[in-house]
Each structure stands twice: as structure tokens, then as C-alpha cells.
């Protein structure tokens, strides 16, 4: 009788020990599940913020194009675009080897101030933008040896040439490429870049 009671007592102790191990395992699984769900929500939120910032970059592009269409001869010099984030001679202004656009922006904007739009009260995003004329210097494009990058010339874009019989019409480009780079800064340290090249 004594031996049987001792065996039963030992069995009850083992069951309790196994139950505790199962409870600890369930507790750890619950914590892991909670952390996974929490991380998933944070990642989804961050992606949504990034997409929102990227979409808002279009506002910088639109503001830059609006200024470009009304600037006239102010486009010939960097000083003419003061306050509009404009650089008239930016043909070779681009990130160097192993340099990101974010690093380039931080260095470049120390000497070329970007324009900015008011902060959006709904999203908390603030848009900054730079307009770079892809020319080798200041002045009127395609004159005095000034090199600019633009779309290839075509008959529709001719600004001059001969129309005499059996004479090849002279063609030259009359448009210039402008690179518009927008930087959007938002909540949760969100930073996004949007870049557009327009011909005007």
C-alpha cells in the first residue's frame, strides 16, 4: 500500500511539471504572435506613409512647372530663379559614384537653396524642390557655344532654316530639359524623392 501511494504522488508531480511547461510555451507563443501582429501593423503604417509622401511629390513638380512656364528670360540665370530653387547651369550636377540622391541633396542644398511648399495639415508632409536646367552655363540656350540637353530636333520644332527648293532645311533644338527633384519629408522620419524631367 505504501509503494502504490508513493508512485501516485510522483505521477501527480510530473503532471504538474508538464502542465507548467505547456503553459510557459503557450505564453511565449502568445507574446511572439502579439509582436508579429504589432510589427506587421507598424510596417503597413510605414509603407502607407511612404506612399503618401511619394504621391505628394507631384505637388512640387506641378509648382516647378508652373514657374517654368511663366519665368521667361529669368531662366537664363540662376539669379533670375532666386527663391524658386532654380539652377541655370546644372548639366553635370548629379550624385557621384556610390552617392545616393539623399546624400547629394544634403550637400547640394547647402549652396543651392530649394523652394518649399507649405506643410500639408492633413498628412504632415512638407515638399521641397529643385529645378535644374541641363545646360553647361548661364545664358540663352544654344547660343554662344552654350551646351544644353534637350529633345532631338524635328521638323515640327524648327525655329529657322531654308525653305528654298532642293535645300535641306536647317534644324536645331529649341527646347531644353529641366530636371525637377522633389524631396518630401513627413511624419515617422519619412523621406521620399520624386524626380521628373520636362522639356520646355
The answer, yes or no, to whether residue 195 has pLDDT greater than 60, is: yes
* Chain mean pLDDT for the chain: 80
Residue pair 57/192 in contact by the 8 Å Cβ criterion? yes
Residue 157 has pLDDT above 50, yes or no: no
Q: Binning pLDDT at 50, 70 and 90, where does residue 104 land?
A: very high
Indicate the pLDDT class of residue 103, thresholds 50, 70 and 90: very high
What is the arithmetic mean of pLDDT over 23-28?
A: 84
CA–CA distance, 121 with 69 (Å, rounded to integer): 28
pTM exceeds 0.85: no
- The confidence score (pLDDT) of residue 69 equals 92
pLDDT at 58: 87
Residues sharing a CB contact under 8 Å with residue 163, sequence separation 6 or more, in sequence order: 169
Residue 165: phi, psi to the nearest 5? Answer: -65, 135
Residue 144 has pLDDT above 50, yes or no: yes
- Please count the structural domains in the chain: 1
* Per-residue pLDDT at 162: 53
- pLDDT beyond 60 at 171: no
* Average confidence (pLDDT) over 79-87: 90
Identify the domain containing residue 96 by its residue range. Answer: 2-199
Top pLDDT among 147 and 163 is at 147
CA distance 175 to 180: 16
Q: What counts of helices (H) and strands (E) characterise the chain? A: 2, 5
Q: Judge residue 171's burial from the number of C-beta atoms within 10 Å of its C-beta, 0-12 exposed, 13-18 middle, 19 or more buried.
A: middle
Banded pLDDT at 29 (limits 50, 70, 90): confident
Per-residue pLDDT, averaged over 2-24, amounts to 67
Residue 172, pLDDT above cutoff 80: no
User: Residue range 120-125: average pLDDT?
Assistant: 86
Q: Is residue 119's pLDDT more than 70? A: yes
Confidence grade of residue 158 (pLDDT, cut at 50, 70, 90): very low
Amino acid at each position: 500500500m505504501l509503494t502504490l501511494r508513493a508512485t501516485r504522488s510522483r505521477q501527480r508531480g510530473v503532471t504538474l511539471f508538464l502542465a507548467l511547461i505547456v503553459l510557459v510555451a503557450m505564453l511565449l507563443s502568445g507574446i511572439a504572435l502579439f509582436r508579429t501582429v504589432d510589427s506587421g501593423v507598424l510596417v503597413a503604417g510605414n509603407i502607407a506613409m511612404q506612399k503618401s509622401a511619394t504621391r505628394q511629390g507631384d505637388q512640387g513638380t506641378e509648382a516647378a512647372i508652373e514657374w517654368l512656364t511663366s519665368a521667361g528670360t529669368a531662366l537664363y540665370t540662376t539669379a533670375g530663379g532666386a527663391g524658386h530653387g532654380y539652377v541655370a547651369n546644372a548639366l553635370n550636377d548629379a550624385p557621384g559614384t556610390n552617392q545616393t540622391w539623399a546624400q547629394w541633396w544634403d550637400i547640394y542644398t547647402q549652396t543651392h537653396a530649394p523652394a518649399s511648399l507649405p506643410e500639408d495639415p492633413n498628412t504632415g508632409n512638407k515638399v521641397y524642390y529643385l529645378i535644374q536646367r541641363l545646360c553647361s552655363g548661364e545664358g540663352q540656350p544654344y547660343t554662344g557655344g552654350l551646351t544644353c540637353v534637350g529633345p532631338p530636333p524635328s521638323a515640327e520644332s524648327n525655329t529657322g532654316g531654308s525653305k528654298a527648293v532642293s535645300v535641306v532645311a536647317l534644324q536645331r533644338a529649341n527646347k531644353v530639359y529641366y530636371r525637377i527633384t522633389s524631396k518630401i519629408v513627413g511624419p515617422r522620419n519619412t523621406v521620399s524623392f520624386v524626380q521628373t524631367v520636362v522639356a520646355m
